[in-house]
Amino acid sequence: MSILGAVIVPHPPLIIPTVGRGREQEVQSTIDAYQTVAKQVAAWKPEVLIITSPHQVMYSDYFHISPGWGATGDMSAFGASGTKLRVEYDAQLREEVIRRTESADLRVGTLGQRDPYLDHGTFVPLYFLREAGVDCPILRIGLSGFSPVDHYRLGQCIAQAVETLGRRAVFIASGDLSHKLRDSGPYGFAPEGPEFDRQITEAMAEGDFLQFLTMDPALYDRAAECGLRSFQIMAGALDGLAVEAKLFSYEGVTGVGYGVATFAVTGPDKNRHFGEQCAELERTRLAEKKASEDPRVRLARMSLETFVKTGKRLERLPDGLPTEMTDQAAGTFVSLHAHGQLRGCIGTTEPTTESVAWEIVQNAVSACSRDPRFPPVTVSELDSLEYSVDVLGRSERISSPAELDVKKYGVIVSCGGRRGLLLPDLEGVDTVEQQIDIARQKGGISSREQYTLERFGVVRHL
């Protein structure tokens, strides 16, 4: 057997009556859809449920699968301690998934469990499934900081493991949508919230899983979504399969988006290998971008790739560099991104070498090997990296935040020997107050201390 079908469901504790205490009627359409979908899952007669949850333990560089025999959980964190569940894990399937992911060079396993109890992203779907009579072992899997394609590849490994063991399996992709739909909601409003929900629900209704993999990271970051990576794993589990997609409901009345959809497998479809399609689109995009790189970015790439591949730094500059790179000195920052996420950023506020070019060479190596937030860049990552190089103007002391502009100026916050710096025009930094707070925290400076401000201009090269 293989995956029989999959569902996307939200996980607001509010929709459990003992938690909502009447407020659940605010999202009655979601509850009605949930109950309908639970009956559909029951009709598939699964032997195992594969559940991905954003509230299961999550690591940036590891997919966690819950270990042990099973787990218990309740709604005590939401004022309903008497609402309890107990589940059994499919240990054999868990081991087969891990074996498959090892051969696929994915980091997956049972290490690093922090809390054995059921998270609410798992509990809420199971509550409605139990009501519908579905009571079978589960596989509980967390998300990660890996790329969309790696989440998809995990789904493929899950499907292969299911088929190897002959299980009747249903995939439960637990995840809310945007958390920024209304000013009155718990997380406020961002215009990207409704736009994300529009795009994602259209993809659900059409069964367009490629959309799950290719959405703009800036859009879903600003939308504060919850479930996209859960949906990406689900899409991988349905790789190469035709599905009958149906969107049962969508609501955003609480300020958080709730979507309920099913995907019934109807047979094979060679045109639905979305992981391969996404990878090819990304290769084409990166190749086009690389072909038009600014000379500063090209030098940063050359410096970094030389160091990662050989362990040695560039000994001489390439010919043909612009004179403003070789005859002028300035501080520079080199930033690395992979799959829309920051992968490293190191720089100098003042020149420490004889020229902008050598400053870039130095900081590119530091960005890939010395940023304490990330492990060193590996050879396997080189083809997926995107670069930007900021060349800094001289900093100047300012007397007030009113002299800052988050799009135009970077900021340096200083107190004694401590300094925190933030570049301008960064995704998600929209106000001067945010800019100062982030820079202050980077410098280990508390809001109660007296600090000084400097600003600097930047020319960004992509």
CATH value of 395-462 in 2.60.120.10, 3.10.310.30, 3.20.20.70, 3.30.1490.150: 3.30.1490.150
51 has which bridge partners? Answer: 140, 172
Query: Which pTM does this prediction carry?
Result: 0.88
- Where in 10-136 does DSSP place strands (E)? 48-52, 63-64, 70-75, 80-88, 108-109
113 has which bridge partners? Answer: none
The predicted-structure confidence for 354-378, as pLDDT tens digits, reads as follows 999 999 999 999 999 999 989 999 9
- Within the chain, all domains assigned CATH 3.40.830.10 are found at 3-275
Confidence of residue 1 (pLDDT cuts 50, 70, 90): low
Mean pLDDT of the chain: 95
Domain range 3-275, CATH class: alpha beta
Burial of 244 (0-12, 13-18, 19+ CB in 10 A): exposed
How would you label 345-381 residue by residue, b for 16+ Cβ within 10 Å and e otherwise? bbbbbebebebbbbbbbbbbbbbbbebeebeebeeee
Confidence of residue 2 (pLDDT cuts 50, 70, 90): confident
Which tokens sit at 433? Answer: 């107050």
- For the chain, give the percent of residues with pLDDT over 90: 94
- Where in 10-122 does DSSP place strands (E)? 48-52, 63-64, 70-75, 80-88, 108-109
Which tokens sit at 171? Answer: 């995939």
Tell me what the mean pLDDT of segment 186-196 comes to: 95
Q: How far apart are CA 446 and CA 420, in angstroms?
A: 11
The predicted-structure confidence for 58-91, as pLDDT tens digits, reads as follows 998 899 999 999 999 999 999 999 999 999 999 9
Tell me what the mean pLDDT of segment 278-299 comes to: 94
- Within the chain, all domains assigned CATH 3.30.1490.150 are found at 395-462
Runs of H (alpha helix) within 104-175: 120-131, 148-165
The predicted-structure confidence for 26-45, as pLDDT tens digits, reads as follows 999 999 999 999 999 999 99
- Asked if 243 and 267 touch (Cβ cutoff 8 Å), the reply is no
Which tokens sit at 141? Answer: 């899997």
Tell me what the mean pLDDT of segment 109-114 comes to: 94
Instruction: Report DSSP letters for 201-218, one per residue.
Output: HHHHHHT-HHHHHHS-HH
Q: How far apart are CA 177 and CA 451, in angstroms?
A: 40
- Within the chain, all domains assigned CATH 3.30.700.20 are found at 293-392
DSSP 147: -
The predicted-structure confidence for 125-159, as pLDDT tens digits, reads as follows 999 999 999 999 999 999 999 999 999 999 999 99
Measure Cα distances from 184 to 30, 58, 141, 252, 377 in Å.
Answer: 20, 29, 32, 11, 42
The dihedral formed by the CA atoms of 261, 178, 12 and 63, expressed in degrees to the nearest 10:
80
Judged against a pLDDT cut of 80, whether residue 192 lies above it is answered with yes
Judged against a pLDDT cut of 90, whether residue 428 lies above it is answered with no
- 293-392 has CATH 3.30.700.20 classification: yes
According to the model, what pLDDT value does residue 273 have? 97
Q: How far apart are CA 137 and CA 157, in angstroms?
A: 19
Element (H, E) at 7: strand 3-9
- Asked if 200 and 128 touch (Cβ cutoff 8 Å), the reply is no
